[in-house]
Chain A
Amino acid sequence: NAGVTQTPKFRVLKTGQSMTLLCAQDMNHEYMYWYRQDPGMGLRLIHYSVGEGTTAKGEVPDGYNVSRLKKQNFLLGLESAAPSQTSVYFCASSYSHRLSGANVLTFGAGSRLTVL
């Protein structure tokens, strides 16, 4: 089982460039999430999706856009990268909380982004 797969694993951008991070899950999970991890700040939710074609803002959505055209994929876009977006990005997925009660997240291995 692949679980949650993120691509690319590493990327270096210049300020103002754009890029897209791809997340794919093969567990038929309803919910998908994008988090960023910064030292001393834990994980902060950027955007999430509760189903195909729906997305919503998390704690730190500014400067990011997302799309979920297919149930298994969740894309995170940076339209104009800034040094403040240097971080490690994690995608996660889970079953609907209505089915499982507790929302147990399955994480990808992360994508390390550096913006110069």
Chain B
Amino acid sequence: AQSVTQLGSHVSVSEGALVLLRCNYSSSVPPYLFWYVQYPNQGLQLLLKYTSAATLVKGINGFEAEFKKSETSFHLTKPSAHMSDAAEYFCAVSDGGFKTIFGAGTRLFVKA
């Protein structure tokens, strides 16, 4: 069975500071991994995805994530936070089949 654990339900950073959102996964097969972002009162949008082509994945809005098999992690980072990054972020895993399993989400707050 697959699962996703996101460490920290809330993360607060200052504008211009590094953003680090943590995600660990469990999968019995090589996984596909995703980060989705949800802005208030909207649906989720794909931020980036890992499909085994490269361990460092770049996404939209300056975000990137690194797949580390030895640590079963897929942490999301952005060098410099912007006020517009305030949202909820979801890590997700798939075995390449029909289903995608989501983490509980991490809400990012950005302070001016």
Q: Which residues on A are within 8 Å of B, measured CB to CB?
A: 4, 31, 35, 40-45, 48, 50, 56, 58, 90, 92, 97, 101-105, 107-110
B49 contacts A42, CB within 8 Å? Answer: no
Report the separation of the CA atoms of residues A43 and B96 in the bound assembly, to the nearest whole angstrom. 18
State the CA gap A108–B98 with chains docked (Å): 18
Residue among B4, B43, B99 making CB contact with A58, cutoff 8 Å: B99
Chain A residues near B84: list those with CB within 8 A. Answer: none
B102: which of A42, A97, A101, A104 is its contact (CB, 8 Å)? A42
Chain A nearest CB: distance from B89 CB in Å? 11
Are the C-beta atoms of A101 and B44 separated by less than 8 Å?
no
Q: Is B45 an interface residue (CB 8 A)?
A: yes
Complexed CA–CA distance, A52 and B103 (Å): 29
Q: Is B9 an interface residue (CB 8 A)?
A: yes
Q: Shortest distance in angstroms between A105's beta carbon and chain B's nearest beta carbon?
A: 6
Residues in B83-107 with C-beta less than 8 Å from chain A:
90, 94, 96-100, 102-105
Given contacts A90-B44, A109-B41, A110-B43, contact A103 B105 (CB under 8 A): no
Q: Which residues of A contact B96 (CB under 8 A)?
A: 97, 101-103
Q: Is the CB of B42 within 8 A of A109?
A: yes
Bound form: Cα–Cα A5–B4 in Å: 28
Q: Decide: A50 near B43, CB < 8 A? Known: A40-B9, A42-B105.
A: no
